[in-house]
Structure 1
């Protein structure tokens, strides 16, 4: 009995040896800042993260001011537009890549690595490549060079709002960066499908291609599709790097295509450094992400036994 207790203590000790540093780092660098941000949201915290509770407490005034701020609500509209572009585009492209790679009999690992490689690239680096090399607003950019071959005028991609060409730049860089990651998720789902289902479909006379995909492959990917959709929406809410590095310059950030995190960045760390107001906006955004995620999960039936 004592030996069993000793072994249990040893297992517990080694568990905390390996998990303890990560749990400590998660608490110090994630949960404590989150709780402190909620705390700051109830104070008039200009240029400080330690407001005076007796003098600076404002209650829910920061939340009311943020919800009545047209710039903040416009930033939420920017997120909606971005999501309408990037979520279905990434879903379709990553699924198509997964289907293509899954059908390969040779060099599957090579193409899987090639398509996944952009996911390891920094968003900042990718945004600068798109901005300086591909969609440069002068005739030396790749896109404008190709337009020159057909005698078309050069386009100022990032500063043209009518038509809003900046969306093409923003969506394509995010698409390039994340399609490979979600391709891996779909590949994992495809490899879990029982091959006997396809054999039974062939015996029943199902035609290969769209008919098999519609009635067998895609229904079997339901759980993966739900997870991918949820992750894509959450990632769209958190968009910052590509927007900021593509559109901001020495003059600041333009008034268009400003997502919530960019707006909160300028609110909390701009000239006013209103950390209380910025924290209130961050809490509103976090609650909105949670509500949307839970709503999607319930709508898709995530977690049900028959899902």
Structure 2
């Protein structure tokens, strides 16, 4: 029976008029769509809103403004008016110092990526085989991740690889009758790479060890049991044919993160190599060079912003190329 007829009968009987739904145009449905069932959407924005607001204000707005500055002649100002188009990009790509910084990155990546990968995987394999105190050793190896890069760099510079005889490394060399080494100022051979790579290894190996541990603990035990039944030898043979193939996704993620973090290297380089006289002309990664370009004596924010955009594009291209090469996201057979 039509609803209007029911309402008319209710009026004739003297009863109250009842409607099953609010009239069209009321705020009820809109409010339900905004807040969601049981106000879940409201609580989502209560918790996520402040973070999203901070991310937009302190990350995306500066990024957008940096792209804007890269098209202007912005000397000592963040509100330029002299539009120069792509001149900043052209000047940056023709700058030998910038291209040399990219070479420095390649050298640093060639050292740090395989070294961190092998060390973190080895630590994960050892910790995973422990039958007791596994949580203790996992925490011990992960603890350096919580240390500041600045603090670690100063410890390496002032205590371990100090260029005088009081440094730990030179003290150990003195026990064997070797000469002292000025670790951070000797370019032939370039001993400073040993200092830079070891401090980064100490700082980040524990983080990637945890990632590998998570991957190891997800490997089904029946695979190892089947391999034992088939006569596979424990050790290298099991690792090569069972463990490492099962860690393919984790290995890809670790490699991508290592390369991206190598592009972003700044703290250890700056705090290890700079002194009261400034930064030496060698071992300048891209971020250190852009720091001196944008905030140095010239304060060319337009040129520095152009270099930052170029670096971001390089990171994006390298990451996508790596992902496609490793087949990230591809369905496995």
TM bucket, shorter chain: over 0.9
Other structure's SS at 2:171 match: helix
- Spell out, residue by residue over 1:98-134, the C-alpha distance to the aligned partner (whole angstroms, 9 max, x if none): 0000000100000000000000000000000000000
Separation of aligned partners in 2, 1:8 and 1:276: 49
Q: Which residue of 1 aligns with 2:220?
A: 194
1:51 pairs with 2:77: no
Separation of aligned partners in 2, 1:13 and 1:185: 34
Q: Which residue of 2 aligns with 1:154?
A: 180
Q: Which residue of 1 aligns with 2:192?
A: 166
Q: 1:216 aligns with which of 208, 217, 242?
A: 242
Tell me whether 259-268 or 8-17 shows the greater mean CA deviation.
8-17
Q: 2:88 aligns with which of 62, 68, 78?
A: 62
| Residue correspondence of structure 1 range 122-137 to structure 2 within 5 A | 122-137=148-163
1:22 pairs with 2:48: no
Q: Which residue of 2 aligns with 1:177?
A: 203
Separation of aligned partners in 2, 1:108 and 1:92: 20
- Spell out, residue by residue over 1:51-87, the C-alpha distance to the aligned partner (whole angstroms, 9 max, x if none): 11xxx10000000000000000000000000000000
Separation of aligned partners in 2, 1:177 and 1:7: 44
Q: Compute the displacement of 1:8 (Å).
A: 2.1
Separation of aligned partners in 1, 2:60 and 2:36: 32
Q: Which residue of 2 aligns with 1:242?
A: 268
Q: Which residue of 2 aligns with 1:104?
A: 130
Q: Which residue of 2 aligns with 1:290?
A: 316
Q: Compute the displacement of 1:305 (Å).
A: 1.1
Q: 1:71 aligns with which of 97, 100, 103?
A: 97
Separation of aligned partners in 1, 2:315 and 2:279: 24
Q: Which has the higher contact order (CA 8 A, sep 6+)?
A: 1
Other structure's SS at 2:163 match: coil
Contiguous gaps of at least 5 residues in structure 1: none
Separation of aligned partners in 2, 1:251 and 1:101: 45
Separation of aligned partners in 1, 2:173 and 2:45: 60
Separation of aligned partners in 1, 2:178 and 2:215: 44
TM-score between the two structures when normalised by the length of structure 1: 0.97
Q: Compute the displacement of 1:7 (Å).
A: 5.3
Q: What is the RMSD of the two structures over their aligned residues, measured on CA atoms?
A: 1.3
Larger radius of gyration: 2
Q: Compute the displacement of 1:10 (Å).
A: 1.0
Q: Which residue of 2 aligns with 1:253?
A: 279
Which contiguous aligned blocks of 4+ residues in structure 1 show a shift greater than 6 angstroms? 1-4
Q: Which residue of 2 aligns with 1:41?
A: 70
Q: Which residue of 1 aligns with 2:16?
A: none
Separation of aligned partners in 2, 1:245 and 1:89: 22
Other structure's SS at 1:59 match: coil
